[in-house]
Structure 1
Amino acid sequence: MMAKLKARKPKRPERPAPPIRAHELVRGVRLAPGWRLRLAGVGELDRAAELLALAHLRLDADVAATIRAGAHAEVLLAGLRDGKQALLYPIAEAAAAGDPNLAIVKMAALLVAVDRDDQIGGIVMTVPPGTVFAELYSKGFLPSHALLGLTLATKIQGLAVDPAARGSGLGARMLAQAWRLHHQLGAMVVYGQFPIRSGLAAYYAATPFEVLPERYGIMLEPILGRQAGIAPSAGEQIFARWSQSAFRAIDHV
């Protein structure tokens, strides 16, 4: 049974933003005066790994390999160019090949915040939640349907800001653009995790995301129509944002 919580005070609504175009994601979406957010290039992987290490995070090896192969965020770019339905083709191809990872790694994005000199000041990495795919597949979903479920949820795998840029609001702006990107492509919930009692709860609560109580996870049944969920990892706490309040469902795990 879903736990009942005190109603949360809604945050100030944001102005509707225009759709992100594929070329903007490659060249840079405006973050703030002097800052753009764009896909990371091959030559920026070391710098990305360095920044993530400052936040005690690692650059996903499969994502890095996909970037080196020239297929970075290929599925997402197709969706921005041709609409959300374009996400279905690579998913169908991966399912037919019997290798879901072919689509999953191309749905990941390593986004860097760069200044006027193209120097990286922050990074946000988004990935499809593989645990959701595994759960759906274990419950009898066809691989293609389980992969399709991944388009409805996105995980913030990592967020890091260069020490020189901290306190400027750059991290919150990166999160807002990550939400904008994936919501445009059909995600109904975008979420991430941080260590409990790390002091980060106040940070994420000040962004457009909501910090869930400790040991609470996200119920995906309102979104998928089938019982499934996202539980926090051991010692971690979830922050999340939903496309509609009707989809907000959390439970103690």
Structure 2
Amino acid sequence: MVANRRGKARRREPVRHSIPESRLRADHSVNRTVTAQALIDGWAIPGSHVRVRLARPVDLAALRTFAEMAGTRVEDEVADAIDAGIAGAGLIIGMRDGHETFLSHVAEQFFTHQDTGRQVAFLHLTLALVAEDPGRGIVGALLAYPPVGVIGQFLAQAHRIGVNPQQLLVTGAIGLVRVKALAVAEPMRRQGLAAALMECCRQVYATCKYLMLYGQMPARPGLADFYRSLGFTVLQKREGFDPWVIFGVHSQILPESDERMFLWDRPMTHRIQRHR
């Protein structure tokens, strides 16, 4: 898996014998750090031909299929943003130009679209990833973005709790993100592709200094161990968490039905407060 390989690479000795063609085709020199350019061109998975990259308009049909496999759908607004080339634009800027430029870009988007629809700003922070195999095409996908519904609930209470709505809106958009869908084609499972998609997602939002990343999963055998292996905390059924470190007020985010939540909170922040 990608997530836990953080040690230094071993120094290679000069090759003194022939190398099998399969090894020559594989990219074993991959940089495990996700960069803005790698996100566009394709981030190579160690020991694999598969690359993870931003979804393009041509990938929309496949992205919809994998979202359905994950039990959800690609919203029309997200599809339009991918088609227009603005999905993830703010994240690319944050990874390439630094956090201050990222904050300026997000603030500009909210200001520019304050009358015509703040949804555009959230689309700039939406991450739609696909895993592409040279021979098979798209073999996996991930969709993540700041949870508009959750942030909207805090906005509805802004005046009551004495918080500036605009400030709360931006704070939520740049601090909290939800993994909405993750799926891999059946023939390609158990090869580290899901782990690579999640690690790429985590790195992107961590680079942009998001404080919390979370998602929900069905109570299926093996899933809890999978997310724990990637460094996520897995909560119990009906257990939620309090994102007060982001919004400055206490509330709670709870899972739906009998699903369980997994979450990652940025190191050095206050510990999350959980709720049952």
TM-score range, shorter chain: 0.7 to 0.9
Q: Which residue of 1 aligns with 2:256?
A: 233
Distance 1:245 1:90 in 2: 25
Rg (Cα) greater in structure = 2
Contact 1:25 / 1:37 at 8 angstroms: preserved in 2?
yes
Q: Which residue of 2 aligns with 1:191?
A: 214
Deviates more, 1:139-148 or 1:124-133: 139-148
Structure 2 residues not aligned, in runs of 5+ = 9-30, 159-163
Structure 1 SS opposite 2:150: helix
Q: Which residue of 2 aligns with 1:5?
A: none
Q: Which residue of 1 aligns with 2:104?
A: 89
Q: 1:12 to 1:78 in 2, by over 3 A?
A: closer
Of 56, 61, 75, the match for 2:76: 61
Cα deviation for residue 183 of structure 1 reads 0.4
Structure 1 residues not aligned, in runs of 5+ = 1-10
Aligned residues: 242
Cα deviation for residue 247 of structure 1 reads 3.2
Distance 1:187 1:161 in 2: 25
TM-score (norm 1): 0.85
Distance 2:55 2:226 in 1: 25
Distance 2:7 2:76 in 1: 36
TM-score (norm 2): 0.78
Distance 1:123 1:244 in 2: 27
Whether 1:111 and 2:129 are equivalent positions in the alignment is yes
Whether 1:243 and 2:266 are equivalent positions in the alignment is yes
Q: Which residue of 2 aligns with 1:120?
A: 138
Whether 1:38 and 2:50 are equivalent positions in the alignment is no
Cα deviation for residue 202 of structure 1 reads 3.7
Q: Which residue of 1 aligns with 2:17?
A: none
Contact 2:182 / 2:194 at 8 angstroms: preserved in 1?
yes
Q: 1:121 to 1:241 in 2, by over 3 A?
A: same
Cα deviation for residue 238 of structure 1 reads 0.4
Q: Which residue of 2 aligns with 1:153?
A: 176
Q: Which residue of 2 aligns with 1:6?
A: none
Q: 1:224 to 1:29 in 2, by over 3 A?
A: same
Q: 1:27 to 1:13 in 2, by over 3 A?
A: closer
Contact 1:124 / 1:156 at 8 angstroms: preserved in 2?
yes
